[in-house]
Structure 1
């Protein structure tokens, strides 16, 4: 069996400087330039590698979920920076509130909340407050 001593995730972008500005400047994450890309260090120590890809196609799924203490405060902060959080269309199965937040319909608006948004390369991210 293979001995695995660690792991990290990665995804592509079409413009590393724009990605750096977004992930460091807008989201406040730590980043180091490495091999032409960015190594993000997330709260808690996990790392994600963002690499340049000339024929980049944005992921159609969520590539990074950012856990926040309060989803409403996080969404307000994103909106103040001009970042939209209404990426996914509301439906009966996924009713979003006026700020683009999906909440647990069985919890009466308390606890769980998630809102999706995109990075400059079009990749889907979220801010989430688990229940």
Structure 2
């Protein structure tokens, strides 16, 4: 009955999102029949991104990218213009923006609409 699912989130500027996800993150991005964009993730999953005029970014991570080597991934994305978030306190990140606490290593960054994304090692 509920055998397939997909994730979605909003942005305030669909064109800026399309450029960011396709040009900066180098993901396979397509448009659906309603003009929304879809991220076609390598493992066969898809993520729908839709415009919302009164968009307000969530205060939590909306999309996680699993990576084998967080150091190389953070370095490569940083060279491509991604700025990783710096956190203090319980989720203190290092100078690269990587949290190395209990659990997997993770680094957070934002898309042009302020949505929080992450790269997470080994998930």
Q: Same fold (TM over 0.5)?
A: yes
Counterpart check, 1:116 vs 2:108: yes
Cα pair 2:91 2:101 within 8 Å, conserved: no
Which structure 2 residue ranges, 5 or more long, are not aligned?
none
Which of 3, 11, 14 is residue 13 of structure 1 equivalent to? 11
Deviation of residue 105 (structure 1)? 5.4
DSSP 3-state at the match of 2:3: coil
The 5 Å alignment of 1:81-96 reads 81-87=80-86, 89-91=87-89, 93-96=90-93
51-60 or 77-86: which moved more? 77-86
Q: Deviations for 1:10-54, whole angstroms, at most 9, x for unmatched residues?
A: 000011111111111111111111112101111201110000111
- Whose Rg is larger? 1
Structure 1-normalised TM-score? 0.86
Alignment size in residue pairs: 122
Which structure 1 residue ranges, 5 or more long, are not aligned?
107-111
Question: Residue 101 of structure 1 aligns with which residue?
Answer: 98
Structure 2-normalised TM-score? 0.92
DSSP 3-state at the match of 1:56: coil
In structure 1, C-alpha distance between the alignment counterparts of 2:85 and 2:70, rounded to whole Å? 14
Q: Deviations for 1:48-90, whole angstroms, at most 9, x for unmatched residues?
A: 0000111111111100000111111111112112211125x22
DSSP 3-state at the match of 1:12: strand
DSSP 3-state at the match of 1:96: coil
